[in-house]
Structure 1
Amino acid sequence: MKVILISNPTATAEESTLINNLFNEGLAFFHLRKPNASEHEIGALLQQIDEQFYPKIALHQHHQLVSRFNVKRLHYTEHQRKQATIAQLKDQKEKGFILSTSIHQLESLNQITEFDYSFYGPVFNSISKKDYQSVVPLDFKVEKHINTPAIIALGGINDKNIHQIKTMNFDGFALLGFIWEQPKNAIANFKIIQQTLKETYD
């Protein structure tokens, strides 16, 4: 089960320390998403993260930073995906980049190629965005599509509902609000997720 943590969209106190500690606790993948941050701000945050974790980090903005940091994961928003050409994406794949994107309608899976995985949601009511409500019924199941190797559940995921992710046929899930709503509890809440996963899937 692929577990991804998405960054708090705004700056968080002692953020780089928390990110390093989360990686040390076993975090597998981290998506650095800060829509309003400048290239300088994203670069400054990356400089404070232990470089051994760079291969586990995906950039949502300022993809050009890969020339300075050993980051091999690039995320494309829906807008970025529509602007990119197949040739550009294939070139990045040939250079060893792992590509991800986001979709909001499952029909979009039929239009996606060259991506290693895609976020889909909100699966549950969002924790961080109170008006971001679930778009799927509880008996929902993903129908896998050959063009997208993995589909990642996004939205409102916590220790109480991750058991539903597997029955919905997702390949993994992304965390955001459950970890960052109270940054002082980020490590403790991540450990709760780890324990719940062990109890649910082992």
Structure 2
Amino acid sequence: MQKVILSNPTDFEGEIAIIEQLLMEDSLIFHLRKPDKSLKEYESFLKSISPKFYKKIVLHSHHELIKKYNLRGIHITEKIRQNMDEFVMENMVKLLRNRGLSVSFSLHTLNAIENLAFKADYVFLSPILKSISKTDYIGAFTMDELRFFFQVRKSEIPVFALGGIREENEDLLQSIGFQGYVLMGSVWEKYFQEEKQHE
């Protein structure tokens, strides 16, 4: 299964060193999501990561940076998708994929996967389990509902599970039908706990 790590949304001390350590894993994909950063701040953060890892990094915002750096691709959130003209998005997706760059989407319903009008390399489906980082976020689907969906679905887009996912969930997710999973809270929670122990 494909493993993706989603960055912590806010910065913390020692973060770049940890990101680079995580990126040493061969097949890992790293999604850079810093929703409160301006273009300048986002680019500065990206530049602080060694360029040797850029082909593993996917941008969640400030997609124009894809022209400037040798990155893996872009991720399109629900908000961006809803606010962009469908024709403009279709052309953008085609252009990027023709350049060999990955394009992925955040989706929140099973129907959205089946009805996605664009070719994507993969999509995130969330929330799957009770969130680790957001106490009021619970899974939106039953395991039976997900299993049935993967048995009968028409779409061939790889679907990655997001929300409350830990590495030890991999076998369960694979048995349901997911092709990958996204880690966020479970990764950064570990480093925050270690930091507290050292205080």
State whether TM-score is above 0.5.
Answer: yes
Q: 1:182 offset after TM fit, Å?
A: 3.6
Aligned to 1:102: 106
Which protein has the bigger helix share? 2
Aligned to 1:169: 177
The percent of aligned pairs where both chains have the same amino acid is: 33
Q: 1:91 offset after TM fit, Å?
A: 1.5
Q: 1:184 offset after TM fit, Å?
A: 4.9
Aligned to 2:197: none
Unaligned runs of 5+ in 2: 195-199
Q: Are the equivalent residues in 2 in contact too, given 1:103–1:119 (CA < 8 A)?
A: yes
2:158 to 134, 143, 150: 150
Q: 1:41 offset after TM fit, Å?
A: 1.6
Could you give the per-residue CA deviations for residues 91-140 of structure 1, whole angstroms, max 9, x where no partner exists? 12112211000100110112212211000011100001111110121333
Unaligned runs of 5+ in 1: 187-202
What SS class does the counterpart of residue 24 from structure 1 fall into? coil
Q: Are the equivalent residues in 1 in contact too, given 2:2–2:27 (CA < 8 A)?
A: no
Give, in whole Å, the separation in 2 of the partners of 1:157 and 1:185.
18
Q: How does 1:34-183 map to 2 (within 5 A)?
A: 34-82=34-82, 83=84, 84-112=88-116, 113-139=118-144, 140-141=146-147, 142-143=149-150, 145=153, 147-183=155-191
Q: Are the equivalent residues in 2 in contact too, given 1:114–1:147 (CA < 8 A)?
A: no
Give, in whole Å, the separation in 1 of the partners of 2:159 and 2:133.
21
Give, in whole Å, the separation in 2 of the partners of 1:29 and 1:159.
14
Could you give the per-residue CA deviations for residues 156-178 of structure 1, whole angstroms, max 9, x where no partner exists? 11144332101110001000000
CA separation of 1:159 and 1:56: change in aligned 2, threshold 3 A: closer
Give, in whole Å, the separation in 2 of the partners of 1:126 and 1:30.
19
Q: 1:81 offset after TM fit, Å?
A: 2.2
Give, in whole Å, the separation in 2 of the partners of 1:18 and 1:185.
14
Q: Are the equivalent residues in 2 in contact too, given 1:179–1:185 (CA < 8 A)?
A: no
CA separation of 1:91 and 1:183: change in aligned 2, threshold 3 A: same
CA separation of 1:132 and 1:184: change in aligned 2, threshold 3 A: closer
Q: 1:29 offset after TM fit, Å?
A: 0.5
Q: Are the equivalent residues in 1 in contact too, given 2:104–2:123 (CA < 8 A)?
A: yes
Give, in whole Å, the separation in 1 of the partners of 2:27 and 2:188.
14
TM-score (ref. length: structure 2):
0.86
Give, in whole Å, the separation in 1 of the partners of 2:89 and 2:47.
31
Aligned length: 186
Give, in whole Å, the separation in 2 of the partners of 1:168 and 1:31.
24
